[in-house]
Structure 1
């Protein structure tokens, strides 16, 4: 009812404290309220939908869900909780008027709350979009080069999902011709609508076109260009197509399969007898079997390789081989000892000095060569032994050159660095002392 002010009791009313920070907000609310009151349009705020604007502001996920945590925090920071409480629009829970207004656009709410949200988003009523469309409105173009409607907007179905890596929207477009492709979004340019990120299914129209082009005298690259894919995809899908035909028409190809298998086995035996490649002798059957019966072909070839290996494999007389390799090792060790400047005797150095083709035997079969391995490990030098032998050789060279054996000269010529090990140092001192006593 309308009540006179005298009945309310003005002396009991409290003065409302208006802070300076609120004046701009309240002035804008007053102006926007005046526009609404003076507007002749009806229902301007009855059924608003904010998803389009929220998407532009970054408050919508790729799957269309509202990011309430970020949106609520920004809204409260924009107005402050004290101002919202003063206006009767405070947000104290996760199920407040603010959340309900976003979730159910058909619910009726006070215009003041809509105005607060309008001012926060910096929009006018006519700017509100009805839907979040990261890939624009359909229909979308079909990008199947094998179809007659290529490039025309005939795709009605678009499924939007969210990328697990970076959260961007992924659109999957399905055409009636069976061609299904996807791309990442959102679309920022017009050219984005004719871009393919990944082909998920080629469809019956594409495979029919592939079959027609395969029967023509065209190069692989030409077929790939006509179908809008790379040559490798043409080869894989052509193989898939032939394999599928083989399964669907076993009765028609079974006879041919048996004939080609028998002919290939005959060619394989002939190739082995002539010691040539079976592909050079019968390349047609090899290629056909590789495309239509690759499992059987691989099994036959592997079996043939095993048979050849067994026929070439002979039993080794390891006792005779031990005697032979022992002589080779003795000869190699003597050559290393006579080398100038001195070389250290190691397994690797011994192998390098053997002229015959025996490195594999020495490395992997020493346990089968007792005499050879015993002699080799007796001759192998440690670092100390080699340094002592090098010292003695260096001292001999200095003497033969008519020079005195001086400590720094001996160490430098022998290529030794301090600190020396105890045994090497002792031998070093013996050589120097023997020179001084002489």
Structure 2
């Protein structure tokens, strides 16, 4: 328990609250401050400070729910909560390592290592409160504008994760300690719109279910008309993102699809929540215009409109009446276009293709009848047994004379009979082809005992692909041990990387006095200090 703790301002970040405590108490060392507030080692960054439960126990006499209030109102945790698998807010709100695990993933949206602020907000704070503070909204990755004043944020030169300083940083109007986050204002409206969606998601007090969110994405993608053919779905979605935002904006958001096609994870339910919330926002905006519209969108994928639809069975009492309520949507196995099978309770099933809404206008409709059903069959043979003439059967069944003769010769559903025959032939052909590929694979394995599975597959692509698809168990039993998980070290051009690193070290050496000015003290120029400053540049790609 401590005797003083500053009252948090509206939307003040947890880092700022601790920094103000540090200055108000007059502590010389930040480690002394952290020891007073936290009994355990803490991880300090622009978004969050861990071990908030320890701080909560020391300031609980100031508020009924101090830790919970700090978590919800003064950190960026609420942005990640909707995509978190565990119900943190109702279980233990302070166990948050999974939320910040994204920082370790390669090519993901990087957290802000420097503190950001709005000059207009800072002036208003100083005029009204007598001091400035860091706003938590401005520290969220992907947010580079102030929603209140509609201007770009400024970045303080102090890197709070890389610089080893003895205190904390509070915002000031010193122009030497700041730089603009946006070099171009062309995309200011896009940044403002994205920041609005970030605000909506932070205030969204619900947690997405993986399966439900996955289905919602697929449904809206289908409604947008970019789901089929399915082999082109990823490309179509990538093109939609590029058209909506442009390469430059996606680069700014660390979401360039050329460096990392992160939307691949969208179509894997287990990897769906590995996508950073900012990237989810980009997807939701591209598909529905805003996050709010995406969440509240209850549209269903209905390529053939809303039912009910007409029954096309001429031998039942509800012919041409809208009584069909069931339609099964599928994709044609060859042209990959959408098709729908309309199923009536009388057993009659007919098929329409995408863009067709009136079966009466479909030419050669008899070829679209997939099943005639028990009602059609009973009434048809009843008429045949009654001795109706061929022209009368033609008139009542709406079928041609050759078709009726074929039905009498081959059965009620010649289409289904043909499908069954084709499937039987396909199975026999597939079995023969599989046997042939087995022999080819065994010969390849015996003739190349030192080859890995990948090398054998590369030399026999068709064989491996066929067996992997249709005979995977046999392939696994008759292949070399998989080398999956044992990556070979790629050859690197170390000379080029070394030259790049030398230039970075020279730049740091030339700007050393500027670094000392930002920190506010003389820094000993050591190997360790230079490595710390190189830390943010280690992941930078060699030009």
**TM tier, smaller:** 0.3 to 0.5
Structure possessing the higher relative contact order (Cα contacts under 8 Å, 6 or more residues apart) = 2
Q: Could you say which structure has the larger radius of gyration?
A: 1
User: Greater helix percent: which structure?
Assistant: 1
Q: TM-score under structure 2 normalisation? A: 0.36
Q: TM-score under structure 1 normalisation? A: 0.43
